[in-house]
Amino acid sequence: MRVVVPPIKSQGIKTKLVPWIMELAPKVKGRWIEPFLGTGVVAFNAGYKRAILGDTNPHIIGFYRAVQQKEITAARMRTYLEQEGELLRTAENNGYEHYLKVRARFNSGEFSPFDFIFLSRAGFNGMMRFGSKGNWNIPFCKKPDRFAQAYITKITNQVASVAHIIQPEPAWKFHTQSFEETIALANEDDIIYCDPPYFGRHVDYYNGWTERDEETLFQFLSATKARFILSTWHHNEWRENEMIQKFWNTFNIVTKDHFYHNGPNLDNRRSVVEALVCNFDANHVSQHHEKQEKKRDTEQFTINWNQENKQYAL
């Protein structure tokens, strides 16, 4: 399966798991409903004409609405990135002064979707993180040449691919709203794909997730007449996801080993067993398990969440 990759980056992006999710998903005659849209990579590859897409992060929804309404096009994005890329390249302090300028402009309340992409691509390690006022909260990647021509072409191609999918579809609806409201819109002809923040792995203001949230999600998914798929983690090298035992075990579950990187260092390869929970027969999907890699002593997180200070340390 050729996966369309969206222009927004985030640490929780499901690009690598899209073929697996689509292998499990039954084709329904209704709509694709995704209450935790994130970068949108799953929805854009689901192949539906009608969709309801929600997220509490207004920057994500604002960006895709702007693409749908043709305020953002590949050509406009190219012009913007060429201008800003040149300013970054020539700015004081190895580009840092211009990164700060764009960040201040965005955080002043302008929240331009173009600046959103700039920050997402010039921020540290492709991470997305916001503070409580919706402010961008990631340091500079320290690469003044970030927006070289090839990179700009890659991003504008991604904008073009997504535009090609969503611009002709007026029945693709984007909403800044919480998952309860989105799930409540589903009926028996629809399929819901849920990818909530993983419990116990708080990332930013829009990704706070408590056991109470998980329980509410469980109640909504238990009550829905639609088919649903929920992404979650099953276990990693150290522990089990207790939410599986507590809530999700009554449904069908398929699992798959997944390897990902924490930071740019190749040594920081970690594995987690991902799970898809669903309320329909999942026998057509086999369990995929590679031999798990042994944890190396030298592995370190690049960024650590400090629970006491409620902030990250580099």
Ligand X SMILES: C[S@@+](CC[C@H](N)C(=O)[O-])C[C@H]1O[C@@H](n2cnc3c(N)ncnc32)[C@H](O)[C@@H]1O
Q: Rule CB under 6 A: which residues touch ligand X?
A: 10, 12-14, 35-36, 38-39, 41-42, 54-57, 60, 178-179, 195-197, 206-207
Round to whole Å and give the CA distance between 115 and 194. Answer: 28
Round to whole Å and give the CA distance between 67 and 276. Answer: 30
Least distance to ligand X from the beta carbon of 46, Å? Answer: 11
8 Å CB contact between 273 and 244: no
Listing DSSP states for 284-314 in one string gives TS--B-PPPPPPPTT---SSEEETTTTEEE-
Which residue, 149 or 210, has its beta carbon nearer to ligand X?
210
| Max Cα-Cα span within the chain | 59
Which residue, 190 or 195, has its beta carbon nearer to ligand X?
195
Helix (H) or strand (E) holding 214: helix 211-223
Least distance to ligand X from the beta carbon of 93, Å? Answer: 31
Task: Report the relative pairing of strands 32-34 and 172-176 from DSSP bridges.
Answer: unpaired
Least distance to ligand X from the beta carbon of 294, Å? Answer: 27
Which residue, 46 or 254, has its beta carbon nearer to ligand X?
46
Nearest to 99, CA basis, from 144, 129, 134, 59: 144
What are the residue ranges of helices labelled H in 108-170?
A: 113-122, 149-166
Which residue, 99 or 198, has its beta carbon nearer to ligand X?
198
CA–CA distance from 160 to each of 2, 52, 67, 164, 309 (Å)? 16, 21, 9, 6, 41
Least distance to ligand X from the beta carbon of 19, Å? Answer: 13
Name the 3-class secondary structure at 83.
helix
Structure tokens at 68: 């749908």
Least distance to ligand X from the beta carbon of 182, Å? Answer: 7
* Residue 151 CB-half CA count within 13 A: 13
Which residue, 60 or 88, has its beta carbon nearer to ligand X?
60
Which residue, 17 or 88, has its beta carbon nearer to ligand X?
17
Residue whose Cβ sits closest to ligand X: 38
Least distance to ligand X from the beta carbon of 222, Å? Answer: 17
Which residue, 54 or 85, has its beta carbon nearer to ligand X?
54
Least distance to ligand X from the beta carbon of 48, Å? Answer: 15
